[in-house]
A = this chain, B = another copy of it.
């Protein structure tokens, strides 16, 4: 008899956001007059701005004429976009080539999918609290043990990032293979300092670990001198994959366009 992937049964309460959706839908149907303020998925509430609308309309028009019609695109994304992304990194002091950029349909998908290229017995470190996609995708793939009564999974290394340590997580005491870092952080909003990132890069080099650096919210950093890309840190190209998104600026959330950098 065909069997399901039993790792899914380890998921503590199902994936967080559908579970919130189910509870909100149940409450709303039982209380049709209640006004519900939704604090689950951060959705957008304002329409797309005019320049984005124009670009979309122009793109659709391109698809209607033989001379500019496009079929399947190149696997890594169109060159014009990858080159613009690489220039954007360079303007931030980060050395990224256009052929190191992989365009995708979102950072949620990218940060979930990236784990598949690593060994199933990899040791994973995550901050606590953490964006649940990093954890749940590894649970489903079988890289963790069962959840305990607090919803924490066996084999996962949790690094607390709370007000007590100024949201600056400590290095693991032992070896880990993969380290998820998110700056600006989802959910705390904290931005990692240059010194903290340099400490993580040094640890990754020493341990032969890979840092999975999620900077989807980098556009919100306005304070001069703060690090936007991990590739601003010397040596980071040897040990880091960076994830970025167009979703978090200009009301693009839900439209789905993001990119991942994998240095040669």
Contacts and interface: CB of A to CB of B under 8 A. Distances in A.
Interface of A: 1-6, 8, 18, 21, 41, 43-48, 50, 53, 56-57, 60-61, 63-66, 69-73, 75, 105, 116-122, 140, 142, 177-178, 207-210, 253-255
Nearest to A7: B120
Contacts of A71: 43-45, 253-254
Given A2-B118, A4-B118, 19 more contacts: A1-B207, A1-B209, A2-B119, A2-B177, A3-B118, A3-B119, A8-B117, A21-B75, A46-B69, A47-B64, A47-B66, A48-B63, A48-B64, A48-B69, A50-B64, A53-B60, A53-B63, A60-B60, A72-B254
Contacts of A43: 71-72
A249 to B, nearest CB: 15
A72 B41 contact: yes
Contact of A1 (B3, B21, B208, B254): B208
Contacts of A60: 53, 56-57, 60
B2 A178 contact: yes
B70 A254 contact: yes
Contacts of A18: 75
A64 B51 CA distance: 10
A210 B72 contact: no
A56 B253 CA distance: 18
A73 B2 contact: no
A57 B198 CA distance: 47
A3 B3 CA distance: 28
Nearest to A119: B3
B4 A117 contact: yes
Contacts of A122: 2-3
B120 A142 contact: yes
